[in-house]
Amino acid sequence: MRAKTIFIIVVTVLVTVILMKNMDEVNFWIFGIRTVPKLAVLGTMFFIGVIVGFLLGRPRRRQNNADQPEADPTFEINKPLDSADEDYIR
Eight-state DSSP code of residue 29: E
User: Does the structure show a pLDDT above 60 at 68?
Assistant: no
47-62 residue pLDDT tens? 999 899 889 888 777 6
Is this prediction's pTM over 0.85?
A: no
Task: Give me the pLDDT at residue 59, please.
Answer: 77
User: Does the structure show a pLDDT above 70 at 26?
Assistant: yes
CB atoms within 10 A of CB 20: 9
- What are the distances in angstroms from CA 77 to CA 36, 71, 85, 86? 69, 12, 16, 17
Compute the distance between CA of residue 82 and CA of residue 51 in angstroms, rounded to an integer.
62
For the chain, the structural domain boundaries read 1-59
